[in-house]
Chains A and B, each alone.
Chain A
Amino acid sequence: MLQVGLTHFLVIGAILFSLGIYGIITRKNAVMVLMGVELILNAANINFVAFSRYGNFGLNGQIAALFVIVLAAAEAAIALAIVLNIYKTYSNVNVDEISNLKE
């Protein structure tokens, strides 16, 4: 019988993380990029919780995951606000076009 262990959680976290990275790198839409970021954050959350469950850390991992969820919410709110402003300025949310940071 397949025993679900730490490894499984970590593999799922890694897959989620990779998907997040992939989303960030490949998507042109800023909102999609933000969604990639959310995926990465959640991959981290899974790792936190998994280590909390299987590691000798007590509830520290759970608390960190809660913090991340709160931060992710705040981050999403600020990021969406920025995206909105970008859209107002450039009428566009394509990250390729917005390379003013270069200068």
Chain B
Amino acid sequence: MTESLLITLSIVTLFLPLLGFAVVVLTGKKFSKMYLFEMLIISATLLISLTIAFFKLSYYPHDIVASLDWFKFSNVPGIGTLNFEIGVKIDNLTALMLIVVNLISFLVHLFSIEYMHGDPRYNRYFSYLGIFTFSMLGIVLTHNLLMMYIFWELVGLSSYLLIGFWFEKKSASDASKKAFIVNRVGDIGMFAGILILFTNYHTFTFDKIFEQISMGHLPFNSPAWLTAAGILVFMGAVGKSAQFPLHVWLPDAMEGPTPVSALIHAATMVAAGVYLVVRIFAMLTADAMTVIAIIGAVTSFIAATIALTQNDIKKVLAYSTVSQLGYMIMALGVGAYSFAFFHLVTHAFFKACLFLGSGSVIHAMHHEQDIRNMGGLRKKLPITYYTFLISTLAISGIPFTSGFLSKDGILAGTLTFGKLTGYWFIPALGFLVALLTAFYMFRLVILTFHGEPRDHHKYDHAHESPFVMAAPLVILATLSIFIWYTPNPVGADQGWFLSKWVKTPHTVVPQNQRFNFMKTEEKTAAAETSEPALHEAEAPVHGEITHSEMYTEAMHASHYPAMFLSIAMAGLGILFAFLIYQWKKISADMLEEKLRPLHKFSLNKWYIDELYDATWIAGTLAFSKMLYWIDSVIIDGAVNGAATVTRFVSRLSGLFDTFVVDGFVNFTAFLSGFIGLNFKKLQTGKVQTYVIFVVFAIIIIMLVFKPY
């Protein structure tokens, strides 16, 4: 396996799903079995990806990069050559993401064979899965922001197509439109951030940008712009990873087929936002990281409170996804880089399992999604139940699951952050959310699977899912166990995942702009002595340590408190769930009655949708109506008015022409005629009259001129 072969394979694995999409979408109408082609493609993609990941993780400690110019401008005045590069970079993160994306994608394909059976656009569905896989792999493989943005939008497209797959339903087409537009809001920010970086560095490539920043070249020579660039690019993640205030699209996205929700809106695409922040982590300033941490914490809290009262099985899972994504973002904000990525991976598996499990339930209940109509399904759907339970334990953070490891690390990170910076509300929110998560997830499990069936008709018809649906559940549930990531069930630090594969990158932000516990790449001794002023505050540490010792110590110190506290929180949450819903010691209705305003607030999702409808959407539409009115009445009115004025003036000048100019001419003629007519009468034809005139004329002349 040479590097170039790995690159070639990665490009093959990128474009195979696109081929699948193109072939199936073009021929799917004629040949009803075309979906099998897509299955073949995704299997091949999975195999190749596993190969790449295996070789990368085992044999290549360094990154493998290949790039080419997509297009370029030569001899640009003042700049020289302007390259728009695209390229592939395979590092450990890429390798791990390749496994996650392709494995889940494959399992979802498999699951969908049965779940989507009988749909009139069956083949079309599989082709859409193909284009999604293609776009997602593009995000994973890229080494630059431009290509990231391109595939970012393409996953947006595939998400649009898949959410709106049943577009006959108004709610589905609404949801797909909403998803695309809300994402666009974030994308604009991301694009602006990319522009800031490109304008200054003339490159989109992460590594080149970082290199320039580390050499002290800040955007527009100002650290504020670096913070701005970080936050703006992060806005892309706010949109895609459904962070507050742009989280509103994700719950609606549940209108799509459930396997799609598992693949796109739980495991992979929404995690792309986290992946983006992971990629730009090195250039985040302290301010940017604080903003990120706060947004993550607030999102996870809001989503968790909403999830408490939802009755749609998918909605609960959707809000739990938002909440968990908030966790990851928060983790990145507090500097717990490796745990954020770790949580991304573990969450992808157990959340995909939960969604597919809910798909299995919905399938069994003939498209019933309301958990108030379920109950007692444990006996009917044993495989679904146990896999669902394992994943629920994982998301609640119970020991021996993968979720426990990653969540515990994140909470320890927030504690450390609180200790080092004084932002204590972030760990506080983090632990509170842990409690809420355990509570609402077990509420979901108990209401769905435990107790007595509440809708006997549907219950009687329920049946366990066939093999192609059960197998993905089992595989994903297995992957939610700790053993895949570390041999130690209570601490992941020493596991291969964190100690070997995922390492926090060195920050490139100048010292006075970053948290003092983040470290830059150490300069060589020579370089250090030459610039002592810049680096005197840093201890000359070499090797892989990327946080200061202060941070490492604090992290160690918070490990056990965080662990015990998080287990306690999870246990408390589970206990309450059982007390209320299983043993009915506390009446849910009574609680609801007592906390009515809070309950309504949560049930109505904090009224955020209503707020947006009333402000942004209504405002935009009203503004656009107003502008149209101005356009047609005032601006076009001015044009037509100019025409009217012109016509009026021309009519006036026409009148002037007829009556004044021509009138004068006619008057002259008339006058002559008038005079002629009247003087004609003097010409009587009688000589005698003439003679009288002559005589009188002579007399008058004589009198007037007096010639004598």
Instruction: Verify whether A and B have any Cβ pair under 8 Å.
Output: yes
Question: Interface of A with B (CB < 8 Å)?
Answer: 21, 24-26, 33, 95-96, 98-103
B685 touches A25 (CB 8 A): no
| A25→B685 CA distance, assembly (Å) | 13
What is the total number of residues of chain B having a CB less than 8 Å from a CB of chain A? 9
Is B691's CB within 8 Å of the partner chain A? yes
**Which residue on B lies nearest to A96, using beta carbons?**
B686
B5 at the interface (CB under 8 A from A): no
B76 contacts the other chain (CB 8 A): no
B683 at the interface (CB under 8 A from A): yes
B: residues with CB less than 8 A from A are 683-688, 691-692, 695
Contact B691 A21 (CB under 8 A): yes
| Interface residue from A26, A33, A101 paired with B685 (Cβ < 8 Å) | A101
Residue pair B684, A99 in contact (C-beta under 8 Å) = yes
Give me 7 other A-B pairs in contact (C-beta within 8 A), A21-B695, A95-B686, A102-B685 excluded: A21-B691, A24-B688, A24-B691, A95-B688, A99-B685, A99-B686, A101-B685
CB distance from B638 to the nearest CB of A (A): 66
List, in ascending order, chain A residues with CB within 8 A of B692's CB. Answer: 25
Q: Which residue of B lies closest to A21 (CB)?
A: B695
When C-beta atoms are compared, the residue in chain A nearest to B690 turns out to be: A101
On whether the beta carbons of A25 and B688 are closer than 8 Å, the reply is yes
Q: A26: which B residues are within 8 A, CB to CB?
A: 688
B677 to chain A, nearest CB (A): 14
Q: Which residues of B contact A21 (CB under 8 A)?
A: 691, 695
Q: Give the Cβ gap from B134 to chain A, nearest Cβ, in Å.
A: 108
Question: Given B683, B684, B691, which contacts A25 in the complex, CB threshold below 8 Å?
Answer: B691
Given the complex, which residues of B lie within 8 Å of A103, measured CB to CB? 685
The CA of A25 and the CA of B687, in the complex, are separated in Å by 8
Q: In the docked arrangement, what's the CA distance between A21 and B683, Å?
A: 19
Let me know if B687 and A95 touch, CB within 8 A.
yes
Q: Which residue of B lies closest to A103 (CB)?
A: B685
Inter-chain contacts of B695 with A (CB < 8 A):
21
**A83–chain B nearest beta-carbon distance, Å:** 12
Q: In the bound complex, how far is the Cα of B692 from the Cα of A33, in angstroms?
A: 13
- Distance in angstroms between the alpha carbons of A100 and B683 in the assembled complex: 11
Q: For residue B686, which residues in chain A have a CB less than 8 angstroms away from its CB? A: 95-96, 99
Q: Give Cα A98–Cα B684 distance, bound, in whole angstroms.
A: 10
Query: Judging by beta carbons under 8 Å apart, are A100 and B688 in contact?
Result: no
CB distance from B681 to the nearest CB of A (A): 10
Closest A residue to B686 by CB, please name it: A99
- Which residues of chain B come closer than 8 Å to A102, judged between CB atoms? 683-685
The residue of chain B having its C-beta at the shortest distance from the C-beta of A101 within the complex is: B685
What B residues does A25 contact at CB under 8 A?
A: 688, 691-692
**27 A-B pairs, CB-CB below 8 angstroms?**
A21-B691, A21-B695, A24-B687, A24-B688, A24-B691, A25-B688, A25-B691, A25-B692, A26-B688, A33-B687, A33-B688, A95-B686, A95-B687, A95-B688, A96-B686, A96-B688, A98-B685, A99-B684, A99-B685, A99-B686, A100-B685, A101-B685, A101-B687, A102-B683, A102-B684, A102-B685, A103-B685
Cβ of A62 to closest chain B Cβ, rounded Å: 25
- Of all chain B residues, the one with the shortest Cβ separation from A26 is B688
Residues of the B chain whose Cβ atoms lie less than 8 Å from the Cβ of A24? 687-688, 691
Name which residue of chain B comes closest to A30, CB basis.
B687
> Roughly how many angstroms separate A59 CA and B686 CA in the complex, as a whole number?
39
Chain B residues near A101: list those with CB within 8 A: 685, 687
With both chains docked as a complex, state the minimum distance between the C-beta of A1 and any C-beta of chain B, in angstroms: 30
Would you list the 7 A-B pairs with minimal beta carbon distance, nearest first?
Answer: A102-B685, A99-B685, A101-B685, A25-B688, A24-B691, A99-B686, A102-B683
Residues of chain B contacted by A98 (CB below 8 angstroms):
685
Whole-angstrom distance between the alpha carbons of A26 and B691 in the complex?
11
Q: Return the chain B residue nearest A102 by Cβ.
A: B685
Minimum C-beta distance from B359 to chain A (A):
118
How far apart sit A34 and B639, CA to CA, in the bound complex (Å)? Answer: 84
